[in-house]
Structure 1
Amino acid sequence: MKEVLRNPHRQRILQLLVSRKVLTPKEIAKELKIGVPTVYYHLELLGDCVQKTSRGEYSVTEKGIEVYRSEIMNASSKSSGMPVLYSTISLLIARPFLAALLGLVAASLELAVCYRTGFIPFMLGYRPVLENSALPVYYAASIFLAFAVLEAASYALNRRLGGEVPLLTGVLLSRLPLMIVLVLALAPLDAPSVAIAVTAVSQLLSILVLSIFLSLSKGIRQEISIILGLVLLYLNLLVYSSVQL
């Protein structure tokens, strides 16, 4: 299969089918600016990665999605300068039990530090409170809201379910960079500008981790996943500002 996917046209065909669900050979030819017979040739070589519908359209199979995640997206990660992070997250997705265990450990650690510092979580941040007895509720709501937004967005793009467990794990693990803010709360800085900068960097790191989980679990292109992460950050700011009012 690696030999088959070395051709950029076949890579692009698989990418189109993952993102758009179904396409006719004519539509694929228009996108790739090649002839329809050539499209049929590439579709035949893709084998059981694609399937033909009763209406003459082509869609990607589950095997095709897995191939797309493991081969094409990993190759793009190497060219983007994030091979270690990509390969690590790919390894976690391939081992769901280990990923879920790490997610639970991360959640437990974050809850413990939140209790210690007097913060409650938002989707991509925290807010100080005087009394945090409802912390587990806030935490669960924050995780669910982030997951629901990303799940709805990915379904709107792909019209396909699947990958919910690794995405939820990604939501949990992507909060690890945010805990830098909690660590700063334990040792407050006298320079507010430094604290703001550290918060911004931690949120960007969180978005990066989350976008990779989203890409690999849902078959969404990395740049689209990053945009969805930024949308999540914007929603986080809206929620935070509304609470502050």
Structure 2
Amino acid sequence: MDQEFDLVKQMLNVAEQDKRMSEKQKKIIQAAIELFSEKGFAGTSTSEIARRASVAEGTIFRHYKTKKDLLMAITMPTLIDGVIPFLAQDFSEQVLTQKYPDFESFVRGIIMNRFAFSKENGKAIKIYFLELFYHDELREQFSNIFMTHVKGKFDQLIDYYKERGEIAAMPNSTIMRALITNIVGFLLTRFVVMPDSDWQDEEEIDFTVAYILHGIAIK
């Protein structure tokens, strides 16, 4: 990205600027963001959040009925207030509106753009994307944002490379799904699931581009 975007900082800023929140609530939110990013939602207990926030555990439940309500208080405002729509638009402008000499360059452009973003925002991504599997509200928001800001330009580029004879005449939804699954899978493994492994990033990006284009079977 041309400009670094710190998702954790933005989540904290949204909480800090909410005039309805007490100081104790803001401490709870900050502690929850830190712990969710370190240990994940399921791996964090409300007692741990209370200790880090220097409040009684009962104070958390006076403001949030459940731990899931606390997660929603962290994630939904940033989604609704435009952080994720901004990132989707930013991605669309930086990647999907560019001209690439061929489909391979297009795939590499997507990976390099999202790799840079993921490297800067690994902790926040851990909060958002691991919880997409468990919370319908977050999935619905991400789906709406994708359909609004990304899908149309993605379709145009896929149609363009089909017309050039560079990709198979499969449904656009199938091609899109293959790209997203492989690229997001790589980034989640690299920055969330196994961030401390001995990664050879340039080589792994080359491998990812190669198997998206050609598969892994020897033909």
Q: Same fold (TM over 0.5)?
A: no
More relative contact order, 1 or 2 (CA 8 Å, 6+ apart):
2
- Give the TM-score normalised by the residue count of structure 1: 0.34
Is the radius of gyration larger for structure 1 or structure 2? Answer: 1
Task: Determine which structure has the larger strand proportion and give its number.
Answer: 1
- Give the TM-score normalised by the residue count of structure 2: 0.37
